[in-house]
Structure 1
Amino acid sequence: MNKDIYILQELGKQYAQSMADPVNEKRKKLHTAVNDLTPIRPIVLINEVPWNEFNHENALKLSCTNPYLRSVERTLRQILYQWNHFPGDMILPDYFSVPKIVHSSGIGIDVEEHTIATELENQIVSHEYFDHLETVDQLERLHSPVITYDYRETIRQFDLLSDVFQDTLPVRMQGLEYHVVPWDDIVRYRGAANLLMDLLERPEFMHAIIEKMTSIALDTIRQYEELNLFEPSQLSIHCTSALTSDLPKKDFDPDHVRARDVWGRGAAQIFASASPDMHKEFDINYMIRSLAPFGLNYYGCCEPLHTKIDLVEQIPNLRKISISPWADIDIAAEIIQRKYVLSAKPSPSNVASSQLDLQVIQKELAHLTGACSKNNCSYELILKDISTIGHNPENLVKWEKCAMAMVN
């Protein structure tokens, strides 16, 4: 245990030195300006890194033996490695966070699946889901979960790390985000083919499912508020920047953080295969209710939304729209302009090969930044969903340098 503590203290000193860098405050201003729709320049972020492909890097090798402290060591090493090699506009908060530990009783059904992995250490696997939401009887099993806050374990971890880091690195309990992505969940309960066929053949049944899932989401949001689980000082909302001068609200009470003090996020990736009319009928009409409690909202993930922005605009308090690699950036930028933050997602496939083609990357980034600049957009470049880097960490280093040169 003493060895583990020493290792974390040394890493904590490195983190403290990095978080004191004045560049953090400069980047906070950049993030805030983008999300306030008054950009200084676009920001660049890299998330969802395949750390399993960095296993030959000495700076990432773990030495702690206590399971919890080993997980803290892993977090610190990954943060510091990215800070030193491909930071983009990443921000280091002036504390180490201990997330509030939350348990859910579940909603009455579970996911059953078959997976195939190409690499044992890679979390990205192929999924085949078995249908457990096919009948009215199965639908009736759905119910709101009971959310409980494990304060005892959270404070135990907080106290332990406070003792470990002592005066070197402040430790802070961190609240949570809540994502309203019911169709992502329904896919996992049913399978994609069954879901899509029933949208056509059994629309009433699918309306009954999404109505139930909407009620579950609203009740979960209520419980998060009652348990004071939301994080009012959000740095991110699902891989994108969350800093804004518009949140939390002016009447904010830190002892009772409301949904209206934080960002909400919605998405319906399966509707990439659906028409705008079907997307509106089965998702947006329900998302309007589910996201209404939040102060600001971010909508979208991998689904191409360039032909559906007029639908997404119906969501209350909308501030940010995801424009994925499968969307037409020219159409999206022309429609969005300065009304919302355009969260542009360069293709992660461009860093997937062991040999990087910088010309391809430069061409894509020039297209994205050119379309956004032409239309006076407030935008961010988010490289995420990185399933592989061809086992070559240098790919992310080169991509980051290229992106930062482009936005500067």
Structure 2
Amino acid sequence: MQSDIECLRALASRYAEAAAHPRNQENARLYRAVNGLKMIRPVVLIDEQPWNELNTGGILDLRCQDPVFRAAEQYLRRRLLQWEHHPADLILPPFLPVFKIIGGEAGGIPVREEILATDADNTIVSHQYADQLAESEDIARIRMPRLTYEKTATEFRQAKLAEAVGDLLPVRIVGHSSYFSQWDLIATYRGVTSLLIDLAERPDHAHAIMDRVTRMLTERYRQYEELDLLDPEPFLIHCTAGLCDELKTAPGEPVLRQNIWGRCMAQIFASVSPAMHEEFDIDYQIRTMEPFGLVYYGCCEPLDRKIEIVRKIPRLRKISVTPWADIRVAAEAIGGDFVVSAKPNPAHVGAAFDPAAIKNELRGIIQACRSANCSFEIVLKDISSISHNPDHLRTWEHIAMDLVRS
């Protein structure tokens, strides 16, 4: 136990020094400006990284044995590595977070799947899902959530860490963000093929499933609010800048959905028509997002030719523009109305690593967004591999930061 504490204290000391750097405050100002549609310059972020390939020389190897200390050690090591090697506009919160522990029943149904992996150390694997919702009577198996806040366990974890490192780095209990990805869930319950075929051949069945899953998630986040499980001010909202002056909760007050981001998407709809996309997702998200203060829509699905239907979501503020979208078309359609969350192609830092291609892609994003007077951010995410070469990320970061500062 003593060796665990010594290890954690050394990391906490380094982290506290980095978190006190003025760059964090400047980056927070950039986040707020972008999300407030008053961009100072584009924010650049890197997330969803292949940590196993970044572990050169065992720099990320965990040494703590206690599970609470071990989780904190992983958090500190990963953030310090990124801060020191490819930070972009990363913010290090000036505290060690302890997420509120949620108990009870999350809802839904257990996933039945087969998995294939080519790299045992990589979290990115292939999935083949069993169709558990083939018949209408199966839909009732999707359970509604019954959540609890495990307050005692959460406070125990916070106190344990505070005793170990609290004099070096504050330890703070934090909440959770919203995440409405109904069609991602449905894909895990059914598989992609059945899901897409039923949109065309059995639309009533598809609607019935979507309605049930939507009610399940809506109830989940209603309970999050009721149990005070929400985070009032996350630094990130699904890998993108989260800070926003328009979303505020007074210290000590319960966190309400009306004061936080709503997050929704329909990734599997990449090849679905605008009309079908609106019918089977946007119409539902209009209802699910009603309680939230601002909304971020989209993930990996191309939305460049669907902006007009996405606009119908109440209090929409941010739209994802994926590598498979035409950034010029999207930027022109979005203009200054919403934040463009531009997602460059992560393949450019993998086996297809090419600094010239990286520069050309980033220049295209910046030129398109500036020409359309967009407030925008550039978020490199979904990074499955860097071909075990951390220099790929460092090079991408250097190119991106040079371009947005020019």
TM over 0.5, shorter chain = yes
How many residues are treated as equivalent by the alignment?
A: 405
In structure 1, what is the equivalent of residue 217 of structure 2?
A: 217
Does the aligned pair in 1 maintain the 2:109–2:143 contact within 8 Å?
A: no
Deviation at 1:109, TM superposition (A): 2.0
Distance (whole Å) between structure 1 residues aligned to residue 312 and residue 322 of structure 2: 20
1:302-321 alignment, distance < 5 Å: 302-321=300-319
Of 342, 345, 351, the residue aligned with 2:343 is 345
In structure 2, what is the equivalent of residue 196 of structure 1?
A: 196
In structure 2, what is the equivalent of residue 46 of structure 1?
A: 46
Structure 1 length-normalised TM: 0.97
Distance (whole Å) between structure 1 residues aligned to residue 279 and residue 353 of structure 2: 42
Pairing 1:285–2:315 present: no
Of 328, 334, 348, the residue aligned with 1:330 is 328
Secondary structure, aligned partner of 2:319: strand
In structure 1, what is the equivalent of residue 264 of structure 2?
A: 266
In structure 2, what is the equivalent of residue 275 of structure 1?
A: 273
Deviation at 1:143, TM superposition (A): 2.9
Deviation at 1:253, TM superposition (A): 6.7
Deviation at 1:166, TM superposition (A): 2.8
Pairing 1:109–2:109 present: yes
Quote the sequence identity (%).
46
Does the aligned pair in 1 maintain the 2:106–2:220 contact within 8 Å?
A: no
Change (3 A) 1:108 1:213: closer
Pairing 1:81–2:78 present: no
Of the structure 1 ranges 104-113 and 379-388, higher mean CA displacement relative to structure 2 is found in 104-113
1:224-235 alignment, distance < 5 Å: 224-235=224-235
Q: Deviations over 1:37-60 (max 9, x none)?
A: 000000100000100112333432
Does the aligned pair in 2 maintain the 1:47–1:382 contact within 8 Å?
A: yes
Q: Deviations over 1:18-67 (max 9, x none)?
A: 01111111111111000000000001000001001123334322211222
Deviation at 1:211, TM superposition (A): 1.2
Letter paired with 1:322: S
Distance (whole Å) between structure 1 residues aligned to residue 341 and residue 180 of structure 2: 18
Letter paired with 2:261: W
Deviation at 1:276, TM superposition (A): 0.4
Q: Deviations over 1:88-116 (max 9, x none)?
A: 00001111100111124143521101110
Q: Deviations over 1:52-90 (max 9, x none)?
A: 112333432221122221221111011001000000000
Distance (whole Å) between structure 2 residues aligned to residue 281 and residue 207 of structure 1: 9
Of 378, 382, 388, the residue aligned with 1:381 is 378
Pairing 1:96–2:96 present: yes
Does the aligned pair in 1 maintain the 2:298–2:320 contact within 8 Å?
A: yes
Distance (whole Å) between structure 2 residues aligned to residue 31 and residue 61 of structure 1: 32
Deviation at 1:170, TM superposition (A): 0.5
Of the structure 1 ranges 212-221 and 58-67, higher mean CA displacement relative to structure 2 is found in 58-67
Secondary structure, aligned partner of 1:224: helix
Of the structure 1 ranges 162-171 and 140-149, higher mean CA displacement relative to structure 2 is found in 140-149
Secondary structure, aligned partner of 2:141: coil
Distance (whole Å) between structure 2 residues aligned to residue 372 and residue 101 of structure 1: 40
Does the aligned pair in 2 maintain the 1:235–1:241 contact within 8 Å?
A: yes
Does the aligned pair in 2 maintain the 1:248–1:260 contact within 8 Å?
A: no
Letter paired with 1:372: C
Unaligned runs of 5+ in 1: none
In structure 2, what is the equivalent of residue 372 of structure 1?
A: 369
Distance (whole Å) between structure 1 residues aligned to residue 43 and residue 174 of structure 2: 24
Does the aligned pair in 1 maintain the 2:108–2:216 contact within 8 Å?
A: no
Secondary structure, aligned partner of 1:385: coil
Q: Deviations over 1:333-352 (max 9, x none)?
A: 01111100000000000001
In structure 1, what is the equivalent of residue 178 of structure 2?
A: 178
Does the aligned pair in 2 maintain the 1:30–1:41 contact within 8 Å?
A: yes
Distance (whole Å) between structure 1 residues aligned to residue 165 and residue 218 of structure 2: 39
Structure 2 length-normalised TM: 0.98
Does the aligned pair in 1 maintain the 2:62–2:70 contact within 8 Å?
A: yes
Moved beyond 4 Å, runs of 4+: none
1:356-367 alignment, distance < 5 Å: 356-367=353-364
In structure 2, what is the equivalent of residue 394 of structure 1?
A: 391
Change (3 A) 1:213 1:16: same
Distance (whole Å) between structure 2 residues aligned to residue 33 and residue 106 of structure 1: 35
Does the aligned pair in 1 maintain the 2:108–2:213 contact within 8 Å?
A: no
Distance (whole Å) between structure 2 residues aligned to residue 326 and residue 406 of structure 1: 22
Secondary structure, aligned partner of 2:145: coil
Secondary structure, aligned partner of 1:140: helix
Distance (whole Å) between structure 1 residues aligned to residue 309 and residue 45 of structure 2: 27
Pairing 1:7–2:4 present: no
Distance (whole Å) between structure 1 residues aligned to residue 113 and residue 142 of structure 2: 19
Does the aligned pair in 2 maintain the 1:228–1:255 contact within 8 Å?
A: no
In structure 2, what is the equivalent of residue 296 of structure 1?
A: 294
Letter paired with 2:29: K
